[in-house]
Amino acid sequence: MFARWLPAAINTRPSEWSRAAIGMALGTMFSVWLCGKVFGIDVALHLIGPLGASAVLLFAVSSGALAQPWSILGGYLCAGVVSLLVAHVLGRTLGSACLAAGMALILMCWLRCLHPPAGALALLMVVADPATIALEWKALGPVMLSASTMLLSALAYNNLTRIRYPKRPAEPAPMMPAPDSQAITAADLKLALADMEAFYDITPEDLEQLIHASELHARRRSIGDVFSSKG
């Protein structure tokens, strides 16, 4: 039971950690700076928590479904609209903040723009600082400006550092010699993910590519073992 608490191995190199860390720092600083210039530093600093969390996704795990452009823009928009609506109707209390976060989650799932930092944003927009409260519905301005700035920073930095972003749709996997009735396809993986009834930050097409790549490495290893045994 306790073994489940141990962290999984990270498959990226330390150089990638450094690349992502620099991008996160620059992206967050630029987003907060620009938002502060337009709406005031108090409003900008109030959003720095969700922005930092978004930066981790956009720069460190940019290939994930949660880090794609529609996820951050749609997620921040859902959280902003829902939280301001709840605050207007129910007031700015801890209970209404938690309700706003839950409602934002449902809306993000429905619109296919799930973005975890938007949950924190929904909480902060209800229990906001005086400068943000004074903006009323105009508070959507700094929310979407900061999200757009973070996205543009990720687009520029990731591609300049040779990380393709946003992620392109997965290409069809190459034909394998195994019989069609036995080969695992993206459709099979989609059904398997549905059976598990949980959210996974990976597409069936990505899983299909991973499986076929693993099969290729297994065949190469098998061929190498045969030649080494003959030698």
User: CA quadruple 99, 103, 106, 108: dihedral positive or negative?
Assistant: negative
CA angle 36, 42, 44 (to 5 degrees): 45
pLDDT in tens, 89-119: 999 999 999 999 999 999 999 999 999 999 9
Looking from the CA of 181 toward its CB, the CA atoms found within 13 Å total 0
- Say whether 46 sits in a helix, a strand or coil: helix
DSSP calls for 145-213: HHHHHHHHHHHHHHHHTT---SPPPPPPPPP-SS-TTTS--HHHHHHHHHHHTS--SS-HHHHHHHHHH
Query: Which spans in 61-138 are helix H?
Result: 69-90, 94-110, 117-126, 130-135
Question: Mean pLDDT over residues 18-37, rounded?
Answer: 97
User: CA quadruple 10, 13, 18, 23: dihedral positive or negative?
Assistant: negative
- Is 11's pLDDT higher than 80? no
- Is 169's pLDDT higher than 70? no
Q: Which of 29-43, 79-93, 147-161, 212-226 has the lowest mean pLDDT?
A: 212-226
Question: Mean pLDDT over residues 143-171, rounded?
Answer: 91
- Is 152's pLDDT higher than 50? yes
Q: CA–CA separation, 65 vs 37, rounded Å?
A: 31
Q: CA–CA separation, 35 vs 50, rounded Å?
A: 14
How many other CB atoms are there within 10 angstroms of residue 135's CB atom?
17
Q: What was the pLDDT predicted at 28?
A: 98
- Is 176's pLDDT higher than 60? no
Which run of H or E residues covers position 23? helix 14-39
Instruction: Report whether 153 contacts 33 (CB < 8 A).
Output: no
- Is 211's pLDDT higher than 90? no
CA angle 32, 166, 123 (to 5 degrees): 40
Q: CA–CA separation, 72 vs 57, rounded Å?
A: 10
- Is 134's pLDDT higher than 80? yes
Amino acid code (one letter) for 20: A
